[in-house]
Copies of this chain bind each other. A is one copy, B any other.
Amino acid sequence: MIIDGKKMAEEIKESLKGEIVKSGKKLKLGIVQVGENSVSQKFIERKVKFSEEIGVKTKIYNLPAEITTNKLRKKMAEICKLVDGVIIQLPLPQHINTQYILSSIPQKKDVDVLSAKAIGDFVVGKQNVLPPVVQAIRKIFVKNNIEIVGKNVVIIGAGLLVGKPAMIWFINQGATVFVLRRLTQNIFKFTKEADIIITGVGNPGLIKPEMVKEGVIIIDAGTAMEKEKLLGDVDPSVASRASIFTPVPGGIGPLTVAMVFKNLLALNKK
């Protein structure tokens, strides 16, 4: 089955919209972008669109690429006071100490769950909200009655936004977890054993049909941009072997955006 992430995101959008109208709350999301990046630009536009449609205000803070870590941290402190939730659009420029900046977000405004404190709570299972990509995966799994305990989960990539949070969550759910990365050799040996594959490395065509077993569940969180086209890590022909398959575009991406706003509301409920 091919997951229609766009449709699922629309359903969440409607429900969040209703919740916001009912609560009468006026929420504001700050989006911080450092330097220019056409891919980031696209993702920001999607968030802004979603935001407007549910009645949440957004404010985009465009900061110069050459800003120092210290100046950015100071700027973050100001921004965090003005909004109800903050997103730092990743990646930040190479010279910035990314984690130092991410950890400056107060936990109640950390919709992406990227500050050290929020991550600590997440690891020990006491989080207020789950990382957006994890929430999106969870939604698909719950909807389709997918059991996790004892399953072999292959995660490709160990990045901040997909690999690491997925690893922590699946471990906490009782799965066997394999984290493969760029230097891993013969990845087919492990993908072949996977009941579930989560991939988020930005390497189009990395996973081919002969590398997976029949009935595998595939969540493709890869986002490579080629000639203005968004591509995942999984060859689309793998879909026919999978029992659950999230395409790119229109799979886990829109659902993850929706979860950012679900988190914004959840964190501002009390």
Contact = CB atoms under 8 A, between A and B. Distances in A.
A164 interface: yes
Interface stretch (A11-19, A177-185, A251-259): A177-185
Interface residues of A, number: 35
- The interface residues of chain A, by DSSP majority, are classed as mixed
A167 B171 contact: yes
Copies of this chain, count: 2
Interface string A227-259: 000000000000000000000000000000000
A155 to B, nearest CB: 9
A152 B120 contact: no
B184 A193 contact: no
Contacts of A178: 176-179, 190
A174 B181 contact: yes
A80 interface: no
A99 B126 contact: yes
A149 interface: yes
Contact of A126 (B103, B158, B168): B103
A189 interface: yes
A193 B180 CA distance: 13
Nearest to A103: B124
Interface of A: 99-100, 102-103, 115-121, 123-126, 149-150, 152, 158, 164, 167-168, 171, 174, 176-181, 183-184, 189-190, 193
Given A176-B183, A179-B171, A119 B126 contact: no
Contacts of A102: 124
Q: Which of A115, A167, A179 has the most chain B CB atoms inside 10 A of its CB?
A: A179
Nearest to A102: B124
B158 A164 contact: no
Contacts of A124: 99, 102-103, 116, 119
Nearest to A121: B116
26 contacts: A99-B124, A99-B125, A99-B126, A100-B126, A103-B124, A103-B126, A116-B117, A116-B123, A116-B124, A116-B126, A118-B120, A119-B120, A119-B123, A119-B124, A150-B183, A152-B184, A167-B171, A167-B177, A171-B179, A174-B181, A176-B181, A177-B177, A177-B179, A178-B179, A178-B190, A189-B193
A176 B171 contact: no
A172 to B, nearest CB: 9
A184 B117 contact: no
A180 to B, nearest CB: 6
Contact of A117 (B120, B158, B174, B180): B120
